[in-house]
Structure 1
Amino acid sequence: MSEDPEEGMLSWDESVFRDERVFEIDYVPETFQHRESQMRTLQYTLRPATRGSRPLNAMVRGPPGTGKTTAIQKLFGELRAETSDVHTVRVNCQMNATRYSVFARLFEGIFDYEPPASGISFKKLFGQVTEKLVEEDDVLVVALDDVNYLFYENEASDTLYSLLRAHEEYSGARIGVIVVSSDPSLEVIDELDSRVQSVFRPEDVYFNVYDREEIAGILRNRVERGFHDDVVSTTVLDYVAEKTAESGDLRVGIDLLRRAGLTAEMRASKVVEKRDVDEAYETSKFVHLSRSLESLSESETELLEVIAEHEGKQAGEVYEEFQAVSGLGYTRYSEIVNKLEDLGIVATNYAEVDGRGRSRELHLEYEPEAVLSRLE
């Protein structure tokens, strides 16, 4: 009997996915693998909050895609289940990179509605947050996720100072802080003002890069929950794990599985093949770049476009083009270059220029086409 060519094809109302949400960026897995020691340390720092005391502060460090945000989400979920007297607020500093916007998110987390869009000073905002905590005799635990973005905007010290010193201005205010950094080159403590260093003595929790076997195990768990049986073979899963290990970012692998599944569906195939993974990888490998670009302001985006169009040019030449587009001065230009370098999007190096000595050159860490296409 000949095989039916339609047997391996999806019908219009079928899907390879059992639960596609398993592959979304904010999905919190029931089983959080290979982070037991980190979770124990974080639980230790927050234990005082369950008894109504100020928790210990913590510093969570590690490269992107190593489970830091998931750990915070799991931890806060546990804390909310334990007691109703503790407010937990995770602030995405990539999107809230000023002291004011951080406290606006804290206000929202405590009052369950956003503060007025204008007409309220930081002092008043700060006062309303702390007064509410004191009035209700509650503890607040703040996670400044991607705190490195506060450093890029020179807002980290002021933000932490306000949080750590709140009890001095409002007696009885109990606030614990978890700072989460995804920038391996950032020395968090060293970059803070001395006034903050004197009071910020956090427990240090490091999230190392997952090894090849750990990646394969985590992705296997996602496949079992997210795909129907036999959609992703062991061979294909191992191939995805290999690609993920090369990037060092688990998010690449999770995104890759989802996109490969969607690619297979576009072919009306009931199974994901290596060719689907290869096609999807051309997008998934830029997960970190896409996420970084989301946080850029209009002027930062304009400079990145100029750099992409003038790859390898001297900093002075790039500034002239940027100034013509934006009208901004050299000081702001230099600040943006430094931020883009901190984000790992731009690299700078010095070269000898005839008659001018050493001059800085600007290079993209990615292909110009990849950057420009994601800015559109």
Structure 2
Amino acid sequence: MAGDPEDGMLSWDESVFRDEHVFEIDYVPETFRHRESQLESLKYALRPAARGSRPLNTVVRGPPGTGKTTSVQKLFSELRAQTDVRTVRVNCQVDSTRYAVFSRIFEGIFDYEPPSSGISFKKLFGQIADRLVEDDEVLAVALDDVNYLFYENEASDALYSLLRAHEAHAGAKVGVICVSSDLSLSVIEELDSRVQSVFRPEEVFFPKYDVDEVVDILRERAKRGFHDGVLGATELDRVAELTAESGDLRVGIDLLRRAGLNAEMRASRTISVEDVEEAYEKSKYVHLSRSLRGLSESETALVEVLAEHDGEQAGSVYEAFHERTDLGYTRYSEIVNKLDQLGLVETEYAEVEGRGRSRSISLAYDPEPVLERIEG
């Protein structure tokens, strides 16, 4: 490096970050680019709520990391600021039963959690609906990652209760936005006919960002999050390439943060391509980490068993799982199906001589990063 070698070095109280929060997954940017038509469609569905009527029900679909949650959060924030509409976003990866969904709605309306035991669903539901009627308020509920409700066979019951609220409690006005990242799931077709008859949603699709859009979004995020001169054009292009490869904008945002931390580890004022490449080794597993965080104890146990018995016959995998959890084959099969839907495992049927069709199961990732993230 030309000149004083200390020129490019950070002192103890310096950082490459102007605002590190900009790189967190739940950050809602002030300027939200390349989703104008989707935002307009969602506004159209929510506009009746601002006039005191029930909003239109909506299904929002698209691959992970395409701006679905951010769009809903942005519009919910605007609704709360400008109207009396109640908005509640439920993370169905965490709250994946009907009771858990309504507990989160209760908390959103009353500003405290319901008792953890001793209150029936009917009473919980009744208190929510009564408050809405009493205050003459409209409720807009976003079921984010609604696919998790389907994996647990809870979607139809949860939606039925929300959509029929006005029948059980005259004057209750509730609209639902279902957000799904599972493109193989047909939200409407998978619902019971009793729900399909009243749901009839608007549909809004979020496609993957193209490379130019990724560069634009990441440049804006870097401008807000880093000090001037920290991220050069070459480094930004490399981040964008890796993000486009993964198809998930969240990988790119996490990659920027980790690359910044790598630069700080070197006490450098600028991010290098090497910082980016090194960061990608962890950032590329953003989807894996997120999926693993939402698993139950028995689901995590099966992932561990698969990691430890990688490439072995399905029979020996089940035996090891049963030994560890004492659960039977029916529950094992249900968990395999859920992990398959989440993209954590790959399953295929093959003819086995003397045994007919047999299902083989393997992890969709190398065992090492999976076990690292479970143990970490």
Q: Judge same fold: TM > 0.5, yes or no.
A: yes
- For 1:82, the equivalent position in structure 2 comes to 82
What code does the residue aligned with 2:275 have? D
Q: Quick check: 1:291 aligned with 2:311?
A: no
Does structure 2 conserve the Cα–Cα contact (< 8 Å) formed by 1:314 and 1:359? no
CA change 1:114–1:2 in 2 (3 A) is closer
Cα distance, 1:201 vs structure 2: 0.6
The residue aligned with 2:344 is 345
Residue number in structure 1 paired with 2:363: 364
Distance in 2, Cα, partners of 1:96 & 1:282:
30
**Corresponding residue of 1:182:** 181
RMSD over aligned CA atoms reads 1.0
3-state secondary structure, aligned to 1:204: strand
CA distance in 2, matches of 1:241, 1:2: 29
Partner of 2:245: 246
Q: Match of 1:126?
A: 125
The one-letter code sitting in structure 1 at the alignment partner of 2:77 is G
Q: Secondary structure at the match of 1:361?
A: strand
1:63 counterpart letter in structure 2: P
User: Partner of 2:362: helix, strand, or coil?
Assistant: strand
Find the residue that maps to 1:189 and give its secondary structure: coil
Question: Structure 1 CA distance, aligned partners of 2:196 and 2:250?
Answer: 33
Shift of 1:315: 2.3
| Corresponding residue of 1:223 | 222
Aligned to 2:212: 213
**How far apart are 1:130 and its partner, in Å?**
0.4
In structure 1, what residue type is equivalent to 2:258? R
Uncovered stretches (5+) of structure 2, i.e. residues with no partner: none
Checking the alignment, whether the CA contact within 8 Å between 1:264 and 1:272 is kept in structure 2 is yes
Partner of 2:232: 233
1:151 positional shift = 0.4
Q: Which runs of 4+ in 1 moved over 6 A?
A: none
Aligned runs of 1:315-330 on 2, under 5 Å?
A: 315-330=314-329
The equivalences for 1:37-48 within 5 A come to: 37-48=37-48
Query: What is the rounded CA distance, in whole Å, between the counterparts of 2:262 and 2:132 in structure 1?
Result: 50
Partner of 1:70: 70
Name the structure 1 match of 2:54: 54
Residues of 2 paired with 1:95 and 1:2: CA distance? 52
The answer to which of 128-137 and 307-316 deviates more is 307-316
Residue 2 of structure 1: how far off its partner (Å)? 6.3
Deviation, 1:310, is 1.2
Sequence identity of aligned pairs in percent?
73
1:132–1:316 Cα change, 3 Å:
same
The one-letter amino acid paired with 2:332 is Y
1:133-171 Cα offsets, whole Å, 9 max, x none, are: 011110000000000000000000000000000111000
TM-score, normalising length from structure 1?
Answer: 0.99
Q: Residue type matched to 2:208 in 1?
A: V
Question: SS of the counterpart of 2:142?
Answer: strand
Name the CA shift for 1:285/1:37 in 2 (closer, same or farther; >3 Å): same
Count of residue pairs brought into register by the alignment: 375
